[in-house]
Amino acid sequence: MALVNTSAVRGGVDTLEDADLLDIGQGVGVYYRPEGTRAELLAIRMLRDRLDQIIGASDDSARFPMINELFYSASAIPQIVTHPETPTPHFHYTLEDAPYVDHIKGITAYAFARLIIMGEWERVRTCARENCNRVFFDTSRNGKRLYCNSQTCGNREHAARYRDRRAAENDR
């Protein structure tokens, strides 16, 4: 979701820069270092647009071929691995020497597929606040979260409703 939200479509301005790639990767468990090339940044932007298409698809059957294409294009070969610095076994979704963008594709395709298989895709949402188009994954216990961030969008929406109620009361 963090990658998709860097797009001008979601946030009003394209905010994806080379420095963001490492943070976004680490946020989803990819600890490989991006090369920092313009080609890599372009590939990540193209991936971001593809992820946004998957999120915006009308239903799961429309998502399946797009997610499968991500697996194929990343040459996804799931495997259990360990490292000296992280001895706990974990998954790699691509070969160790795959390009950074393929690591992001592989782990994202796997995450999206899991959401569908587990019946949790409906928790992928667009913020309900007017003028906010950011996507988020609802991690609330009851699955009823409406805003991408309760401290900003949620509070602003509640404050606006409060002001509207107060104005309506004053007009009476």
Q: How far is CA 110 from CA 39, 130, 146, in A?
A: 24, 31, 25
Residues of the chain with CATH 1.10.3300.10: 4-119
Q: What is the pLDDT of residues 39-73, one digit of tens each?
A: 988 999 999 999 999 999 999 999 999 999 999 99
C-alpha distances out from residue 73 to 40, 83, 109, 141, Å: 15, 25, 10, 35
Measured in Å, how far apart are the chain's first and last C-alpha atoms? Answer: 44
pTM, entire model: 0.82
CB neighbour burial string for 124-150, b if at least 16 within 10 angstroms, e if fewer: bbebebeebebbbebeeeeeebbbbee
**Rounded distance, CA 14 to CA 16, Å?**
6
CB distance 72 to 50 below 8 Å: no
Pick the CATH number of 4-119 from 1.10.3300.10, 3.30.70.20, 3.30.465.10, 1.10.940.10: 1.10.3300.10
pLDDT tens, residue by residue, 97-128: 889 899 899 989 999 999 999 999 999 999 99
Alpha carbons within 13 angstroms on the beta-carbon side of residue 119 total 0
The DSSP secondary-structure symbol of 6 reads G
Q: Is pLDDT larger for residue 56 or for residue 24?
A: 56
Q: How many CB atoms lie within 10 A of CB 69?
A: 14
